[in-house]
Amino acid sequence: MIISIASGKGGTGKTSVAVNLALSLTDVQLLDCDVEEPNAHILLHPNISETKPVYKLVPLIQEDRCDYCGKCAVFCKYHALFVVSKNSIVFPELCHSCGGCIIVCPRNAITEEKQQIGTIKKGVGRSIDLVYGELDVGEPMAVPLIRAVRKQTENDKTVLIDVPPGTACPLVASVYKSDYCILVTEPTPFGLHDLKIVVEVLKELRIPLGVVVNRAGLGDHQVYDYCKNENIPLLLEIPLDRKIAELYSRGIPFVSEMPEWKMKFQQLFDEIGRCR
């Protein structure tokens, strides 16, 4: 089973939920797809066994063949190519590596070259198989690296995916083909606002979902009312607890020091199995 842990906004505690859930189960792989700011490894302290670069393909124009017809620039809806007079310019940061410019070029003047966008790291921490990506500084597109992390999925294990915050392309690429999505929110107006948006996205993707309320007791009851009205399962409440916060600030998953929570996360996992 592939379970994604997402949120409509940052700072709700989805990485904490993902790590503590992973530590409460057996035979688990955790994929940290928040490649712009991965932090599951801070809690798991893995021994990294493999590091490999990830590349994307960008156009390379052969000037001796190009007649500057501009068909490639017209085709590219992302404006990664610009042709004027006797000059052609490639903007690799805008390129989505679709290869369309190569197809439309009448003089076969375009090839592709590799450009590194980040790295993937694999290791084991606290008995959890961890894979995470690190996007290179200045790279504007996270999706190609997220897809590379997703390709590391091991089908013979329970796979947990720590999803980037927000509701844009990185979320969609991360939750793609998930069997279930846990939405971590907080009982505040901001938490409810972003929860509603990500619920609509997941409904479009037809991915079953449930909600974990973190820092329960902090705000009001609007999140609970919304889940009840929308028939969204409330899977777990994690209270606003000083000990949990102190452990997190020291990089310690709270199930390690509060073993009673392991059973609660195991019950959450069983509930997901019943909801599918």
Tens digits of residue pLDDT in 46-78 = 999 999 999 999 999 999 999 999 999 999 999
**Predicted local distance difference test score (pLDDT) of residue 175:** 97
Non-local (6+) Cβ contacts of 11 within 8 A are: 165
Shared-domain flag, residues 61 and 41: no
Q: What is the token pair recorded at 72?
A: 């490639």
Q: What is the token pair recorded at 130?
A: 């961890």
Residue 85 has pLDDT above 90, yes or no: no
For residue 217, which phi and psi values (nearest 5 degrees)?
100, -5
pTM, entire model: 0.92
Looking up tokens 């390379």 gives 60
Shared-domain flag, residues 107 and 59: yes
Average pLDDT over residues 97-119: 96
pLDDT digits (tens, 9 = 90+) for 11-23: 899 999 999 999 9
Shared-domain flag, residues 89 and 130: no
In a domain, 121, yes or no: no
What is the tally of structural domains in the chain?
2
pLDDT digits (tens, 9 = 90+) for 91-100: 999 999 999 9
Residue 219 has pLDDT above 90, yes or no: no
Q: Band the pLDDT of 123: cuts 50, 70, 90.
A: very high
CA gap 202, 169 in Å, rounded = 12
In a domain, 109, yes or no: yes
Q: Band the pLDDT of 88: cuts 50, 70, 90.
A: very high
In a domain, 141, yes or no: yes
In a domain, 61, yes or no: yes
CA gap 114, 97 in Å, rounded = 10
165: left (phi over 0), alpha (psi -120 to 50) or beta: beta
Q: Domain containing 259: what range?
A: 2-45+126-275
Could you tell me the end-to-end alpha-carbon distance of the chain, in angstroms, rounded to an integer?
10
In a domain, 50, yes or no: no
Shared-domain flag, residues 145 and 213: yes
Shared-domain flag, residues 94 and 67: yes
CA gap 109, 67 in Å, rounded = 9
Non-local (6+) Cβ contacts of 46 within 8 A are: 123, 124, 125, 128, 130
**Predicted local distance difference test score (pLDDT) of residue 218:** 86
Q: Band the pLDDT of 42: cuts 50, 70, 90.
A: very high
Name residue 180's beta-bridge partners.
Answer: 3
Residue 108 has pLDDT above 80, yes or no: yes
pLDDT digits (tens, 9 = 90+) for 196-207: 999 999 999 999
CA gap 12, 29 in Å, rounded = 22
Shared-domain flag, residues 146 and 179: yes
**Predicted local distance difference test score (pLDDT) of residue 276:** 66
Q: Which amino acid is at 49?
A: S
Which is nearest to 160 in space by CA: 273, 50, 33?
33
Segments in the chain forming alpha helices (H): 14-24, 40-44, 71-75, 100-104, 143-150, 169-175, 189-205, 222-229, 242-249, 254-257, 260-275
